[in-house]
Amino acid sequence: MEALRPLDTLNSARDKKVILELKNGKQIIGKLKAFDVHINTVLEDAEEHSDGQMVRKLGTLFIRGDTIILISPSE
């Protein structure tokens, strides 16, 4: 059996809701539409959240990979 690779986890999260935490402390929630090996990421219906509250609707977003700390599929 092949060992799981980190991008497999992102691949399984395609078209699902994910939570991103960025190096500038912001939290973005949206539907994961695309990513690449640099972890450049595209979200749809993205929203910025703070303390469990939505603070801004952002729509479609291209996020540069090197600004991302973590990506959590929200089950």
* Footprint of a second copy (CB under 8 A): 3-11, 14, 22-24, 33-36, 39-42, 46, 58-75
* Cβ 68 to a second copy shortest distance, Å: 5
- Nearer to a second copy by C-beta: 22 or 49? 22
Q: Which is nearer to a second copy, 54 or 69 (CB)?
A: 69
CA 14 to chain CA centroid, Å, is 10
CB 30 within 8 Å of CB 18: yes
Least Å distance between CB 67 and a second copy?
5
**Nearer Cβ to a second copy, position 7 or 54?**
7
